[in-house]
Amino acid sequence: MPNWIRDSGGRLVKRDTPHNKELELSLKIMEATPEDQHSHHGHQDNPNAFRSMRDRMHPPRMSAPSCIVPPTEQLVIRPHIVPLLPTFHGMESENPYAHIKEFEEVCNTFQEGGASIDLMRLKLFPFTLKDKAKIWLNSLRPRSIRTWTDLQAEFVKKFFPTHRTNGLKRQISNFSTKENEKFYECWERYMEAINACPHHGFDTWLLVSYFYDGMSSSMKQLLETMCGGDFMRGGKLLETPGAIYTKPLVGRVWKVLEMPRDVHTSLHYGGRLERSPRLSRDF
């Protein structure tokens, strides 16, 4: 309600209330031109400078600093390399270890002569991340990643959590054959489970034990025959890249646990080579 008072001449005049003054001031601020604002309140680079409502509602574009510390060593990235890089979207069905392996294969192929391979991986890896994985990378603390080892560790920790590792380890330790499954099919499936979790931590003898315990009775019988009657006491275990071997005490070396499907099982006695139709059929 208006507030009226009499002036010195006895006339009624309207007195402004504090509310009206604030409203009038707000309208003047919104209608002020940029020139007026700068002339009275300084420049935009001043953090305490005046900003209109328009400026506050439409702030200038700002981007957070990268989580990767810029390396001092220079690296020129060839444009044709980026399209060849694998992609990772952060989905549950994707395996971060498989992604890193494929990524490193591409980097090793196109490594520049004088550039560090780890520097190349550090610079190129962000190009492989999409969708959820890219959002994760951008959310990391600024300048927290200094080396390829740091980035790799954070990536695996995020997309290969503990519960996923434990689940895959249970698949390995509880492995069993399927009905009517061939030996090579069973072995390939077991190797897929191992490769899906390369950090399982099981010793070679334990992996062999899990596989043997999960085989059917007929497969165990065939394996016992190949090892001279007792697979579990057949000798020393030898580990090689991608294969597990047994060496029976009688001196014969059998490639037991990785057998190509197109190669027949052979038994060697005293220099005489014999083929077993049963082994060839079942393996």
- How buried is residue 61: exposed, middle or buried, by Cβ count under 10 Å (0-12/13-18/19+)? exposed
Q: How far apart are CA 11 and CA 139, in angstroms?
A: 67
pLDDT confidence of residue 33: 47
The letter for the amino acid at 215 is M
Outline where the chain has alpha helix (H): 18-31, 34-41, 53-57, 96-109, 117-128, 131-139, 148-159, 162-173, 183-195, 204-214, 217-226, 277-282
The pLDDT of 57-81, averaged and rounded, is 81
- How buried is residue 120: exposed, middle or buried, by Cβ count under 10 Å (0-12/13-18/19+)? buried
Helices (runs of H) and strands (runs of E) counted in the chain: 12, 6
Q: For strand 12-15 and strand 235-240, is the pairing parallel, antiparallel, or unpaired? A: unpaired
Say yes or no to pLDDT of 89 above 90: yes
**Over the stretch 23-55, which tens digit does the pLDDT of each residue have?**
555 545 445 444 444 444 444 456 556 777 877
Q: Regarding predicted confidence, which is higher, 25 or 65?
A: 65
Say yes or no to pLDDT of 224 above 90: no
Say yes or no to pLDDT of 129 above 80: yes
Q: Are 67 and 137 in contact (CB under 8 A)?
A: yes
SS3 state of residue 230 = coil
Q: What is the DSSP letter of 82?
A: G
The pLDDT of 109-127, averaged and rounded, is 86
Q: HSE (CB half, 13 Å, CA atoms) of 246? A: 23
Q: How far apart are CA 25 and CA 50, in angstroms?
A: 14
Q: How far apart are CA 22 and CA 24, in angstroms?
A: 5
Say yes or no to pLDDT of 264 above 70: no
Nearest in space to 235 (alpha carbons), one of 224, 225, 246: 246
154-158, 175-179, 230-234: which has the highest mean pLDDT? Answer: 154-158
Q: Are 258 and 242 in contact (CB under 8 A)?
A: yes
Q: Are 122 and 68 in contact (CB under 8 A)?
A: yes
SS3 state of residue 85 = coil
Q: Are 65 and 143 in contact (CB under 8 A)?
A: yes
The pLDDT of 152-161, averaged and rounded, is 94
Torsion angles phi and psi, residue 246, rounded to 5: -125, 145
Q: How far apart are CA 165 and CA 7, in angstroms?
A: 86
Torsion angles phi and psi, residue 76, rounded to 5: -95, 120
Q: How far apart are CA 245 and CA 216, in angstroms?
A: 20
Q: Regarding predicted confidence, which is higher, 203 or 278?
A: 203
